[in-house]
Structure 1
Amino acid sequence: MDHSGKLRESSYTYGPLRENWTILLTVNNAYFDFFRNWFWAYRQLDITYSIVIIAEDEFVYRKLREFKSETVTLTRSGHASVHESASFGSAAFSTLVSARPSHILNYLKMGINVLYSDIDMVWMQNPFPYFTGDFDMWMELDNVNKDNYCTGLMAIKSNKNNIRLIEGWEKSLQETLQIDQIAFNKVVKHATIRLSILDSNKFPNGFLYFEKFTEEERNLAVILRNDRLSTLQVFLDSAPVPVCSPQITANFSKP
């Protein structure tokens, strides 16, 4: 990938895109265990949407080639390799996520609807039935600033208004290195789109899920946004799917 965010032409494809909705993920080596957790939980849902995984470094690209699936496409972004987790708000974090709108645009411009998901999300139910109504985009609100949208989960239809919005987001990040969510919330205020807010009872953040929800409410959750956790181990210890256990690892490796 060059500095414009465009993907290299070469990619490693496991299977064709079979749906107009495609799930888009970005993974670097430091977050590989997050990806394993996400993918294992996704596979338990028994749904077959096309998935595009963008490997942000050569180390994780090699690892991801082993996870073959007929609906998964893997491509290499061209970022430098990252061994340590980039903390939220750091320059390293901003550099990694600044390419997010460029990745999304590549598929929107091909007429493909994109569901972008951070890999610290835990999918417990199929989210696609919740993307209904006459809307262009579906997002969550940020749990800290309720006036801001969270860019960790974005269901985006391919249309002119959305492409224009994501282009503006991309331009803002190319001009100034900043947290991508802050840039998005500045740009979206001037956009002409129909944006639906996802129900936090169905798409809760980590605080709601672990501290406020009853067991019944947890069972009704669709996607958990396990945000603002300081270490990978905290996430893995608290996530509904304990991916690092031998049993889970064995299940994950099955075809």
Structure 2
Amino acid sequence: MTTSLHQRPFQPAFSHRFLPASLHYSNLPQRPISLFSRAGLLSLLALMLILGVIVPWADMPGGIFSVNKASSVNQWRHYTLPQAASFVAKNGTLIVCAVSQAYLPFLNNWLISISRQKRQDMVLVIAEDYATLDKVNERWPGHAVLIPPALDSQAAHKFGSQGFFNFTARRPQHLLNILELGYSVMYNDVDMVWLGDPFTYLRGLHDVYFTDDMAAVKPLDHSHDLPPPGKKGRTYICSCMIFLRPTDGAKLVMKKWIEELQAQPWSRAKKANDQPAFNWALMKTTGQVDVYLLPQSAFPTGGLYFKNKTWVQGTKGKHVIIHNNYIVGFEKKIKRFRDYGLWLVDDHAKESPLGKL
């Protein structure tokens, strides 16, 4: 892999193609201009305008044309994952989510919580439709990319539907692509809220970090190994919060996850989702990959955090990321977040890089 993948493309501070026609060299007067003459002062003013307006925009994705909405919309259609990753990554690491238009309110809620931990500049939104791509980059240039093909944004709303499967089944390929570029990556679903900084819990140099999806209470000093399989013959690890380093082991898990999804496609009889395939991939690569189970007290499943008040009180101050799972439906998730004071967009939209949507 070349180092160019980790650098923003070189853009000259300005070139004559950006200059107004009146300032092209062919149109300049042929005799010397006194600095104190009217023409000299106008030329000096034009130069100051160029340096003050064009140059500061030159290093942004898309350069000066980012300020023109029509041109900006068009340019983001050609924005690539290597360009986006290079622009967003901090110390070789990205935070990634995959979002369609219907999930924009959840994206904003998640972003507010990340902004409170000063990590928002590391976020890359993988837009699954053009409406999301355009909206995010209009408000927050360079922080959204679409990896073709674009999906039908109206088809992925219902958990268990084929549209939802098509949406989530792209996840391991997105993550593998980022690993192949040489970056570490944290993936989150956007029905999560950060209460602390999860990066302080990524101890050691393991290949893959993940969380348990079970609601059964574990001891505070529980093992960080892959748990034993449950009744269905596989583990119950959550595929919604994953951290990966760009190692052969992490890439192997992503490739195996892709294979398992292809082997277990969605059907009306078996309404598959991506998580069982992720667990089979972890089990089938045991011994080849260095994995790490994150502490339950910091990363509880929704079935524990929202349903076990005694446990929540006993682990108060330890919670880092709250996942609003174990419940289905946009309105139900929003209501539960509101009931627990975790729906932040109502009163804190200004804290999001996207503002109030």
Name the structure with the higher helix share.
Answer: 2
Selected match of 2:328 from 230, 239, 252? 230
- The answer to whether the Cα contact below 8 Å between 2:88 and 2:124 also exists between their aligned partners in 1 is no
Residue in 1 that maps onto 2:239: 151
Residue in 2 that maps onto 1:3: none
Residue in 2 that maps onto 1:21: 93
Selected match of 1:183 from 260, 277, 294? 277
- Paired positions, count: 244
Equivalent pairs: percent with the same residue? 24
Q: Which whole-Å CA distance do the structure 2 matches of 1:244 and 1:85 have between them? A: 22
Q: Which whole-Å CA distance do the structure 1 matches of 2:124 and 2:351 have between them? A: 22
Q: Which moved more, 1:232-241 or 1:211-220?
A: 211-220
1:58-207 pair list within 5 angstroms: 58-68=130-140, 73-77=143-147, 78-83=149-154, 86-143=157-214, 147-177=235-265, 178-191=272-285, 192-207=288-303
- The answer to whether the Cα contact below 8 Å between 1:58 and 1:81 also exists between their aligned partners in 2 is no
Residue 173 of structure 1 and its aligned partner are, at CA, apart by 2.0
TM-score by structure 1 length? 0.85
1:53 alignment partner AA: V
Residue 102 of structure 1 and its aligned partner are, at CA, apart by 0.5
- The answer to whether the Cα contact below 8 Å between 2:151 and 2:167 also exists between their aligned partners in 1 is no
Name the structure with the higher strand share.
Answer: 1
TM-score by structure 2 length? 0.62
Residue in 1 that maps onto 2:36: none
- The answer to whether the Cα contact below 8 Å between 1:242 and 1:248 also exists between their aligned partners in 2 is no
- The answer to whether the Cα contact below 8 Å between 2:186 and 2:244 also exists between their aligned partners in 1 is yes
1:40-59 pair list within 5 angstroms: 40-47=112-119, 50-59=122-131
Q: Which runs of 5+ in 1 are unaligned?
A: 1-7
Alpha-carbon deviations, 1:50-99, whole Å to 9, x = none?
22211001121222113327xx6311133323236533222221110110
Question: Where in structure 1 do 4 or more consecutive aligned residues deviate above 4 Å?
Answer: none
Q: Which moved more, 1:54-63 or 1:167-176?
A: 167-176
Which secondary structure state, in structure 2, belongs to the residue aligned with residue 189 of structure 1? helix
Structure with the bigger RCO (C-alpha within 8 Å, sep 6+) is 1
Question: In structure 2, do the counterparts of structure 1 residues 66 and 189 end up closer, same or farther at CA, with 3 Å as the change threshold?
Answer: same
Question: In structure 2, do the counterparts of structure 1 residues 16 and 24 end up closer, same or farther at CA, with 3 Å as the change threshold?
Answer: closer
Q: Which whole-Å CA distance do the structure 1 matches of 2:300 and 2:198 have between them? A: 13
- The answer to whether the Cα contact below 8 Å between 1:209 and 1:218 also exists between their aligned partners in 2 is no
Question: In structure 2, do the counterparts of structure 1 residues 68 and 139 end up closer, same or farther at CA, with 3 Å as the change threshold?
Answer: same
Q: Which runs of 5+ in 2 are unaligned?
A: 1-76, 216-228, 266-271
Which secondary structure state, in structure 2, belongs to the residue aligned with residue 116 of structure 1? strand
Which secondary structure state, in structure 2, belongs to the residue aligned with residue 32 of structure 1? helix
Alpha-carbon deviations, 1:171-209, whole Å to 9, x = none?
332344242111111122121111111111110122322
1:66 alignment partner AA: E
